[in-house]
Every structure is written in structure tokens, then in C-alpha cells.
Amino acid sequence: EVTAQTDFVAVRAPCHPVALELLRAAGVPVAAPSANRFGHISPTTPEHVAEDLGHVEGLKILDGGPCGVGIESTVVKLDLARRRIVVLRKGGTTGERLERVLAEGSGVFGAEVRLEFHSKHGDKAE
């Protein structure tokens, strides 16, 4: 099971050349956890990963050098039934970039899809 006991599947879209090469070499979808424990600060170097997860038996770290972005990943939910993409967590990908990609790919959805920002304290914000 890859849904963390939810109705959703999280899909990562890396842009780092080492991560992309790993995915190409695998030739199949790869299911993998984050490089840090839940609730811990995101690592930006392989050393940070080792500090947080070094206790895991058999741990292998693919060293692609330090991260280019030192904050958490942007997390979005595709809610196509309501024709929206909801930003659940802001991260390294800006709202402007998401808007641009959404506009470029608008034909994929067959109609306009809106971008919304989810707030921890309500249904949506911004």
C-alpha cells in the first residue's frame, strides 16, 4: 500500500538529474519515503539524511550533493471532480510557477482548472 492509509497517492516529481537518472534506470514506478522522519526538518545534504535516518538498518543514501532548495516540497492535490488543483503545502515551487504550468497544460483537462491554496484553519485561503 502506498497511500499512507488515505484515499490519495502522493507522486513526487523530482528535477534533480541524479533522481531522474535513478528513475530512468529503474524503468518502473518507484515508491519511496521522504528522506527524513515525519515532523523532522527536511534534510538539505546527505549528511543530514544520515543524522536523521542513520539508525535504519540497510540504509543507502544516493548522494547528489546538497539540495538546491532548502525548504519542503510543494504538495498539491488534483481534485479533477471539482476542476481544481489545491496547494496543500507551499514549498519550493511557487504559486506563479504552478499557474504557468497549469495554463500551459490547460488542454489536458479539457476545461479551465483553478488553483487554490489550502489553509490549516479552513477550507482554502488566498
Contact 10, 38 (CB under 8 A): no
- Helices marked H in the chain: 17-26, 46-53, 95-104, 106-109
The pTM score is 0.66
Per-residue pLDDT tens over the stretch 33-88? 778 888 888 888 999 999 999 999 999 998 999 988 777 788 888 887 887 888 88
Q: Can you spell out the DSSP letters for 78-108? A: EEGGGTEEEEEE--SS-HHHHHHHHHHTHHH
Contact 79, 109 (CB under 8 A): no
C-alpha cell of 87? 496547494
